[in-house]
Amino acid sequence: MTVTHPPVDTARLDALLTRARREVHEGLLPSCQVALARDGELVAFEAFGDATTRTRYAVFSCTKAFVASAVWALIGEGKVDVSKRVVEYVPEFGSNGKDVVTVEQVMLHTSGFPHAPLGPPDWYTHEGRMAAFEKWRFNWEPGTRYEYHPTSAHWVLAEIIERVTGRDYRDYVQERITDPAGLPYRVLGMPEDEQDDFAVMEVRGEPASPDELEAVFGVRELPVTEVTDEALMSFNEPKNRELGVPGGGAAMTAADLARFYQVLLHDPDGIWDPAVLADAKGTVRNHFPDPLTGVPANRTLGLVQAGADGKGAWRGLGHTVSPMAFGHNGAAGQVAWADPGTGLSFGYVTNGIDANLIRHARRSVGIASRAGACVEV
């Protein structure tokens, strides 16, 4: 690959690594990894705390980009049309009026069932998942607003993948996406006999006070969602790691994230149809405001774009990336993005669940911002 960018600034890179190391050394996090890549190659990859560069982490909603990218491949092959209704692929989904939902709405988190429940034991079997689909009802009318669907939407996408390919969604993601992208192992559906190098999640710190929450969010108590500490800790269970929850169950290193986003930038091996990939990275289809922050979602077909409105940090990509930067972060502070403006891609993972959500958010923004500043836009 021809290098067309100026070199990474070593002092700025050192500032990034110092910031990533800080809270591990202070005891706020048990460990973390940080990785920066450019022009198809890793620039830096470091582990801090009780981890090595071989340790794999639960990346939670960073998983969504991998599942979405599998749908992009099917779009390019003419097997999925996002304008079609989900029931055209999964007829069982159409109960309780859900026959109107389109695949695009599912991918944009505008499909109206963010709180639809699906957990153990139902999620371990296809029959259990279909029974859950049949029970699901709308929280609001699809296509009228945005509310993040932590896991429900991507269970639907996983089922669509299986229906049109005849393959287990985990196998398809590996064979069609991550193997060609050069990731060295199965990232979604971690076999129990390969879990020795997994970073066990830990809760650290104390929750933010009502006064702190009000100062940042304007409310004294945050709404309760399915993304609780208990839910995140459940991914320490070997059976749940092996399941590979499509909205948040992948396991990998920070370097895997950085490398994958380099592939999204350049796609040297033609994994995706070029027009489909360009649309998925660059076309914002969801401008609805976030119900808590009021910030426009800026969602593409499976990713989040930083945008030119100065709100990129609120979307998790930091203050220093270009407006066209895209990515998808995960719970507990996982960060993953690529910036076409600089050619950088970035991955940060930790096994520390910080009970103070404000500190957690500021850490993610601070680390992402330092990564984006490793070269000038």
Task: Using DSSP bridges, classify how beta strands 31-38 and 344-350 pair: parallel, antiparallel or unpaired.
Answer: antiparallel
- Determine the average pLDDT of the residues in 344-371: 94
* pLDDT for residue 1 is more than 60: no
CA distance 20 to 129: 39
- The alpha carbon of residue 32 and the mean position of all alpha carbons in its chain are separated, in whole angstroms, by 17
- Alpha-carbon distance of 66 to 304, in angstroms, equals 13
Give the Cα separation of 108 and 350 in Å (integer). Answer: 27
Mean pLDDT for the stretch of residues 226-246: 93
pLDDT digits (tens, 9 = 90+) for 194-204: 999 999 999 99
pLDDT mean across residues, the chain:
94
In the predicted structure, residue 35 carries a pLDDT above the cut 90: yes
pLDDT surpasses 70 at 3 = no
Q: What is the mean pLDDT of residues 154-173?
A: 98
Q: What is the pLDDT of residues 131-143, one digit of tens each?
A: 999 999 999 999 9
Residues with Cβ within 8 Å of residue 54, at least 6 apart in sequence: 197, 253
- Which tokens belong to 98? 């859900």
pLDDT at 162: 98
Mean pLDDT of 220-225: 77
pLDDT at 227 over 80: no
pLDDT in tens, 47-70: 999 999 999 999 999 999 999 999
pTM: 0.95
Structure-block tokens of residue 125: 């079997």
Q: What is the pLDDT of residue 214?
A: 82
Classified as helix, coil or strand, 286 is strand
1 vs 75, residue with greater confidence: 75
Sign of CA dihedral 42, 46, 51, 53: positive
Q: At what angle do helices 63-76 and 152-165 cross, to 10 degrees?
A: 40
Q: What percent of the chain has pLDDT over 90?
A: 88
**Residue 376: predicted pLDDT:** 65
Domains (range + CATH), the chain: 10-57+190-372 (3.40.710), 72-173 (1.20.58)
